[in-house]
Protein backbone atom coordinates (compact mmCIF):
# COMPACT_ATOMS: atom_id res chain seq x y z
CA UNK A 1 0.00 0.00 0.00
CA UNK A 2 2.81 2.41 0.88
CA UNK A 3 4.54 1.72 -2.44
CA UNK A 4 1.33 2.57 -4.27
CA UNK A 5 0.97 5.86 -2.38
CA UNK A 6 4.59 6.83 -3.09
CA UNK A 7 4.13 5.96 -6.76
CA UNK A 8 1.03 8.14 -7.00
CA UNK A 9 2.72 11.02 -5.20
CA UNK A 10 5.59 10.90 -7.69
CA UNK A 11 3.05 10.98 -10.53
CA UNK A 12 1.92 14.40 -9.28
CA UNK A 13 5.26 15.93 -10.36
CA UNK A 14 4.89 15.48 -14.16
CA UNK A 15 1.22 16.43 -13.88
CA UNK A 16 2.02 19.80 -12.34
CA UNK A 17 4.88 20.38 -14.81
CA UNK A 18 2.45 19.81 -17.67
CA UNK A 19 -0.21 22.06 -16.13
CA UNK A 20 2.30 24.90 -15.69
CA UNK A 21 3.50 24.46 -19.28
CA UNK A 22 -0.03 24.55 -20.73
CA UNK A 23 -1.10 27.60 -18.71
CA UNK A 24 2.04 29.58 -19.57
CA UNK A 25 1.74 28.59 -23.23
CA UNK A 26 -1.92 29.64 -23.46
CA UNK A 27 -1.24 32.93 -21.66
CA UNK A 28 1.60 33.53 -24.11
CA UNK A 29 -0.84 33.21 -27.02
CA UNK A 30 -3.34 35.72 -25.67
CA UNK A 31 -3.28 39.18 -27.27
CA UNK A 32 -1.86 42.36 -25.70
CA UNK A 33 0.90 42.53 -23.10
CA UNK A 34 1.05 43.35 -19.37
CA UNK A 35 2.85 46.65 -19.96
CA UNK A 36 0.02 48.01 -22.09
CA UNK A 37 -2.66 46.74 -19.70
CA UNK A 38 -0.92 48.25 -16.66
CA UNK A 39 0.11 51.61 -18.12
CA UNK A 40 -2.78 52.01 -20.56
CA UNK A 41 -2.98 52.47 -24.32
CA UNK A 42 -1.92 56.11 -24.10
CA UNK A 43 1.43 55.34 -22.47
CA UNK A 44 4.67 55.88 -24.33
CA UNK A 45 5.86 52.78 -26.24
CA UNK A 46 9.27 53.12 -24.58
CA UNK A 47 7.67 52.97 -21.10
CA UNK A 48 5.58 49.95 -22.07
CA UNK A 49 8.60 48.14 -23.46
CA UNK A 50 10.67 48.97 -20.37
CA UNK A 51 7.96 47.61 -18.05
CA UNK A 52 7.63 44.41 -20.09
CA UNK A 53 11.37 43.98 -19.88
CA UNK A 54 11.36 44.57 -16.13
CA UNK A 55 8.61 41.99 -15.62
CA UNK A 56 10.52 39.43 -17.69
CA UNK A 57 7.71 39.21 -20.22
CA UNK A 58 10.10 39.68 -23.15
CA UNK A 59 12.22 36.67 -22.14
CA UNK A 60 11.91 33.51 -24.26
CA UNK A 61 9.13 31.13 -23.31
CA UNK A 62 11.50 28.37 -22.19
CA UNK A 63 13.35 30.79 -19.90
CA UNK A 64 10.13 31.94 -18.27
CA UNK A 65 8.91 28.36 -17.85
CA UNK A 66 12.12 27.12 -16.25
CA UNK A 67 12.24 30.19 -14.00
CA UNK A 68 8.71 29.58 -12.77
CA UNK A 69 9.39 25.90 -12.04
CA UNK A 70 12.65 26.69 -10.22
CA UNK A 71 10.97 29.33 -8.05
CA UNK A 72 7.92 27.15 -7.43
CA UNK A 73 10.10 24.31 -6.15
CA UNK A 74 11.42 26.74 -3.54
CA UNK A 75 7.88 27.77 -2.59
CA UNK A 76 7.91 31.06 -4.51
CA UNK A 77 5.12 31.49 -7.08
CA UNK A 78 6.27 34.97 -7.99
CA UNK A 79 4.67 38.37 -7.56
CA UNK A 80 1.55 39.77 -9.17
CA UNK A 81 2.34 42.09 -12.08
CA UNK A 82 -0.67 44.20 -11.17
CA UNK A 83 -0.42 44.56 -7.39
CA UNK A 84 3.19 43.58 -6.67
CA UNK A 85 1.97 41.26 -3.90
CA UNK A 86 3.24 37.73 -3.43
CA UNK A 87 1.10 35.23 -5.34
CA UNK A 88 1.58 32.67 -2.55
CA UNK A 89 0.23 35.01 0.14
CA UNK A 90 -2.66 36.10 -2.09
CA UNK A 91 -3.66 32.47 -2.71
CA UNK A 92 -3.40 31.72 1.02
CA UNK A 93 -5.70 34.67 1.70
CA UNK A 94 -8.30 33.64 -0.88
CA UNK A 95 -8.14 29.87 -0.56
CA UNK A 96 -10.38 29.68 2.56
CA UNK A 97 -13.24 31.23 0.56
CA UNK A 98 -12.85 28.68 -2.23
CA UNK A 99 -12.51 25.81 0.27
CA UNK A 100 -15.62 26.96 2.15
CA UNK A 101 -17.57 27.13 -1.11
CA UNK A 102 -16.38 23.68 -2.24
CA UNK A 103 -16.90 21.94 1.10
CA UNK A 104 -20.35 23.44 1.65
CA UNK A 105 -21.39 22.49 -1.87
CA UNK A 106 -20.05 18.97 -1.29
CA UNK A 107 -22.14 18.51 1.84
CA UNK A 108 -25.23 20.05 0.25
CA UNK A 109 -24.96 18.09 -3.00
CA UNK A 110 -23.90 14.73 -1.56
CA UNK A 111 -26.53 14.56 1.19
CA UNK A 112 -29.41 15.39 -1.16
CA UNK A 113 -28.03 13.49 -4.17
CA UNK A 114 -27.18 10.23 -2.37
CA UNK A 115 -30.36 10.25 -0.28
CA UNK A 116 -32.62 10.83 -3.29
CA UNK A 117 -30.66 8.23 -5.28
CA UNK A 118 -31.20 5.57 -2.60
CA UNK A 119 -34.90 6.37 -2.22
CA UNK A 120 -35.33 6.46 -5.99
CA UNK A 121 -33.82 2.98 -6.36
CA UNK A 122 -35.75 1.47 -3.44
CA UNK A 123 -39.02 3.01 -4.69
CA UNK A 124 -38.39 2.34 -8.40
CA UNK A 125 -41.13 3.53 -10.80
CA UNK A 126 -42.88 5.45 -8.02
CA UNK A 127 -43.75 9.15 -8.05
CA UNK A 128 -40.63 9.79 -5.98
CA UNK A 129 -38.50 7.98 -8.54
CA UNK A 130 -40.03 9.99 -11.38
CA UNK A 131 -39.50 13.26 -9.51
CA UNK A 132 -35.89 12.39 -8.63
CA UNK A 133 -34.84 11.37 -12.14
CA UNK A 134 -36.54 14.43 -13.63
CA UNK A 135 -34.77 16.65 -11.10
CA UNK A 136 -31.41 15.03 -11.92
CA UNK A 137 -31.85 15.64 -15.65
CA UNK A 138 -33.01 19.22 -15.12
CA UNK A 139 -30.13 20.15 -12.80
CA UNK A 140 -27.64 18.56 -15.16
CA UNK A 141 -29.02 20.47 -18.14
CA UNK A 142 -28.91 23.99 -16.72
CA UNK A 143 -25.49 25.73 -16.49
CA UNK A 144 -24.28 26.93 -13.09
CA UNK A 145 -24.32 30.63 -13.98
CA UNK A 146 -28.00 30.42 -15.01
CA UNK A 147 -28.96 28.62 -11.79
CA UNK A 148 -27.02 31.20 -9.79
CA UNK A 149 -28.72 34.13 -11.48
CA UNK A 150 -32.17 32.57 -11.00
CA UNK A 151 -31.47 32.05 -7.30
CA UNK A 152 -30.34 35.68 -7.01
CA UNK A 153 -33.51 36.89 -8.75
CA UNK A 154 -35.76 34.83 -6.46
CA UNK A 155 -34.11 34.87 -3.04
CA UNK A 156 -32.13 38.12 -3.17
CA UNK A 157 -33.94 40.57 -5.42
CA UNK A 158 -37.41 39.07 -5.12
CA UNK A 159 -37.78 37.90 -1.52
CA UNK A 160 -34.80 39.72 -0.03
CA UNK A 161 -33.91 36.77 2.20
CA UNK A 162 -30.25 36.27 1.27
CA UNK A 163 -27.36 38.47 0.07
CA UNK A 164 -26.28 38.10 -3.53
CA UNK A 165 -22.58 38.94 -3.29
CA UNK A 166 -19.58 39.01 -0.96
CA UNK A 167 -18.31 36.63 1.71
CA UNK A 168 -19.29 38.40 4.90
CA UNK A 169 -20.87 35.41 6.65
CA UNK A 170 -22.65 32.08 6.34
CA UNK A 171 -25.70 33.71 4.72
CA UNK A 172 -23.48 34.88 1.86
CA UNK A 173 -22.58 31.26 1.04
CA UNK A 174 -26.06 29.73 1.03
CA UNK A 175 -26.89 30.63 -2.57
CA UNK A 176 -23.37 29.77 -3.87
CA UNK A 177 -23.55 26.41 -2.07
CA UNK A 178 -26.90 25.67 -3.67
CA UNK A 179 -25.66 26.76 -7.11
CA UNK A 180 -22.48 24.69 -7.06
CA UNK A 181 -24.20 21.76 -5.38
CA UNK A 182 -26.84 21.38 -8.08
CA UNK A 183 -24.40 19.72 -10.50
CA UNK A 184 -23.28 17.31 -7.76
CA UNK A 185 -26.91 16.45 -6.93
CA UNK A 186 -27.50 15.56 -10.57
CA UNK A 187 -24.47 13.28 -10.97
CA UNK A 188 -24.66 11.63 -7.54
CA UNK A 189 -28.40 11.00 -7.76
CA UNK A 190 -28.08 9.22 -11.09
CA UNK A 191 -24.99 7.24 -10.06
CA UNK A 192 -26.43 6.21 -6.69
CA UNK A 193 -29.72 5.13 -8.24
CA UNK A 194 -28.01 3.04 -10.93
CA UNK A 195 -25.58 1.45 -8.50
CA UNK A 196 -28.30 0.65 -5.96
CA UNK A 197 -30.54 -0.92 -8.61
CA UNK A 198 -27.68 -3.20 -9.71
CA UNK A 199 -26.84 -4.14 -6.13
CA UNK A 200 -30.32 -4.95 -4.84
CA UNK A 201 -30.81 -7.41 -7.73
CA UNK A 202 -27.77 -9.50 -6.85
CA UNK A 203 -27.98 -13.03 -5.47
CA UNK A 204 -26.74 -12.25 -1.98
CA UNK A 205 -29.55 -9.69 -1.56
CA UNK A 206 -32.09 -12.37 -2.55
CA UNK A 207 -30.48 -14.70 -0.04
CA UNK A 208 -30.75 -12.09 2.70
CA UNK A 209 -34.45 -11.65 1.91
CA UNK A 210 -34.96 -15.42 1.94
CA UNK A 211 -33.44 -15.56 5.43
CA UNK A 212 -36.13 -13.17 6.62
CA UNK A 213 -34.02 -10.07 7.21
CA UNK A 214 -35.86 -6.78 7.24
CA UNK A 215 -35.74 -4.60 4.15
CA UNK A 216 -34.14 -1.78 6.13
CA UNK A 217 -31.30 -4.03 7.31
CA UNK A 218 -30.80 -5.40 3.81
CA UNK A 219 -30.49 -1.91 2.31
CA UNK A 220 -28.33 -0.36 5.02
CA UNK A 221 -26.28 -3.39 6.03
CA UNK A 222 -25.71 -5.17 2.72
CA UNK A 223 -26.66 -3.20 -0.39
CA UNK A 224 -25.60 0.30 0.55
CA UNK A 225 -21.93 -0.41 1.24
CA UNK A 226 -21.33 -2.12 -2.11
CA UNK A 227 -23.49 0.37 -3.98
CA UNK A 228 -21.47 3.30 -2.65
CA UNK A 229 -18.19 2.06 -4.17
CA UNK A 230 -18.66 3.81 -7.55
CA UNK A 231 -20.36 6.72 -5.78
CA UNK A 232 -17.17 7.41 -3.79
CA UNK A 233 -15.25 7.87 -7.03
CA UNK A 234 -17.88 10.22 -8.44
CA UNK A 235 -17.94 12.09 -5.14
CA UNK A 236 -14.18 12.61 -5.14
CA UNK A 237 -14.01 13.62 -8.80
CA UNK A 238 -16.98 15.97 -8.38
CA UNK A 239 -15.42 17.61 -5.35
CA UNK A 240 -12.10 18.01 -7.13
CA UNK A 241 -13.83 19.44 -10.17
CA UNK A 242 -15.85 21.75 -7.95
CA UNK A 243 -12.73 22.91 -6.11
CA UNK A 244 -11.03 23.77 -9.37
CA UNK A 245 -14.18 24.91 -11.13
CA UNK A 246 -15.60 27.44 -8.70
CA UNK A 247 -14.65 30.18 -11.17
CA UNK A 248 -18.20 30.55 -12.47
CA UNK A 249 -19.88 30.57 -9.06
CA UNK A 250 -17.34 32.96 -7.54
CA UNK A 251 -17.79 35.30 -10.49
CA UNK A 252 -21.60 35.27 -10.30
CA UNK A 253 -21.66 35.92 -6.55
CA UNK A 254 -18.50 38.09 -6.41
CA UNK A 255 -16.81 35.78 -3.89
CA UNK A 256 -13.15 36.74 -3.36
CA UNK A 257 -11.79 33.23 -3.91
CA UNK A 258 -9.08 31.66 -6.04
CA UNK A 259 -11.45 31.23 -8.99
CA UNK A 260 -12.24 34.95 -9.18
CA UNK A 261 -8.53 35.63 -8.72
CA UNK A 262 -7.78 33.59 -11.85
CA UNK A 263 -10.45 35.43 -13.85
CA UNK A 264 -9.06 38.80 -12.80
CA UNK A 265 -5.56 37.62 -13.68
CA UNK A 266 -6.63 36.50 -17.15
CA UNK A 267 -8.31 39.85 -17.83
CA UNK A 268 -5.12 41.75 -16.93
CA UNK A 269 -2.76 39.08 -18.31
CA UNK A 270 -1.21 38.67 -14.87
CA UNK A 271 0.73 35.54 -15.77
CA UNK A 272 2.21 34.80 -12.29
CA UNK A 273 -1.25 34.96 -10.68
CA UNK A 274 -2.96 32.75 -13.28
CA UNK A 275 -0.15 30.18 -13.41
CA UNK A 276 0.42 30.01 -9.67
CA UNK A 277 -3.26 29.72 -8.76
CA UNK A 278 -3.91 27.09 -11.44
CA UNK A 279 -0.94 24.97 -10.35
CA UNK A 280 -2.07 25.13 -6.71
CA UNK A 281 -5.59 24.01 -7.63
CA UNK A 282 -4.16 21.23 -9.84
CA UNK A 283 -1.99 20.03 -6.95
CA UNK A 284 -4.99 19.96 -4.62
CA UNK A 285 -7.02 18.05 -7.20
CA UNK A 286 -4.36 15.35 -7.72
CA UNK A 287 -3.86 14.90 -3.97
CA UNK A 288 -7.62 14.60 -3.55
CA UNK A 289 -7.77 11.89 -6.21
CA UNK A 290 -5.05 10.00 -4.34
CA UNK A 291 -7.11 10.25 -1.16
CA UNK A 292 -10.16 8.88 -3.02
CA UNK A 293 -8.16 5.88 -4.24
CA UNK A 294 -6.93 5.15 -0.71
CA UNK A 295 -10.46 5.48 0.65
CA UNK A 296 -11.67 3.15 -2.09
CA UNK A 297 -9.19 0.51 -0.88
CA UNK A 298 -10.52 0.68 2.68
CA UNK A 299 -14.13 0.40 1.51
CA UNK A 300 -13.48 -2.55 -0.81
CA UNK A 301 -11.45 -5.35 0.89
CA UNK A 302 -10.57 -6.87 -2.51
CA UNK A 303 -8.69 -3.74 -3.58
CA UNK A 304 -6.96 -3.53 -0.21
CA UNK A 305 -5.81 -7.15 -0.57
CA UNK A 306 -4.45 -6.47 -4.05
CA UNK A 307 -2.43 -3.53 -2.74
CA UNK A 308 -1.13 -5.65 0.14
CA UNK A 309 0.33 -8.18 -2.33
CA UNK A 310 2.42 -5.42 -3.86
Q: What pLDDT does residue 251 have?
A: 82
Residue 158 domain boundaries: 88-267
User: 232 pLDDT exceeds 80?
Assistant: no
Q: How far is CA 156 from the centre of its chain?
A: 25
- Kindly state whether residue 7 falls inside one of the protein's structural domains: yes
C-beta separation of 117 from 302 below 8 A: no
Confidence band for 296, pLDDT divided at 50, 70 and 90: low
Q: What Å distances lie between residue 159 and 150, 156, 256, CA to CA?
A: 12, 6, 25
Q: Note whether residue 110 is domain-resident.
A: yes
- The answer to whether residues 118 and 67 belong to one domain is no
Mean pLDDT, the chain, integer: 79
Shared-domain flag, residues 102 and 183: yes
195 compared with 227, residue with greater pLDDT: 195
Residue 232: inside a domain: yes
Rounded to 5°, angle at Cα 88 from 17 and 167 = 115
DSSP 86: B
Q: Establish if 43 belongs to a structural domain.
A: yes
Q: What is the pLDDT of residue 1?
A: 59
Examine the pLDDT at 104 and tell me if it is beyond 70: yes
Q: How far apart are CA 274 and CA 262, in angstroms?
A: 5
Pair 248, 126 in one domain: yes
In a domain, 305, yes or no: no
- In a domain? residue 152: yes
User: Against a cut of 0.85, is the pTM above it?
Assistant: no
CB of 98 closer than 8 Å to CB of 287: no
Q: How many domains does the chain have?
A: 2
Is 60 exceeded by the pLDDT of residue 265? yes
pLDDT at residue 93 greater than cutoff 70? yes
Q: How far apart are CA 204 and CA 218, in angstroms?
A: 10
Amino acid sequence: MSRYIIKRLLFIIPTLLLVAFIVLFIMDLTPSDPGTLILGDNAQPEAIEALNEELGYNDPFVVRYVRFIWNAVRGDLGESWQTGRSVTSTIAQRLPVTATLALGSLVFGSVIGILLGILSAVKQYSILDFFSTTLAMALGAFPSFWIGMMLILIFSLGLGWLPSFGAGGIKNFILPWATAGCFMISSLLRMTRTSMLETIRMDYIRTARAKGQTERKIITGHALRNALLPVVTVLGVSFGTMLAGTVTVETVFSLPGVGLMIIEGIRMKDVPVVTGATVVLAAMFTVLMLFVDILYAFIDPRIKARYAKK
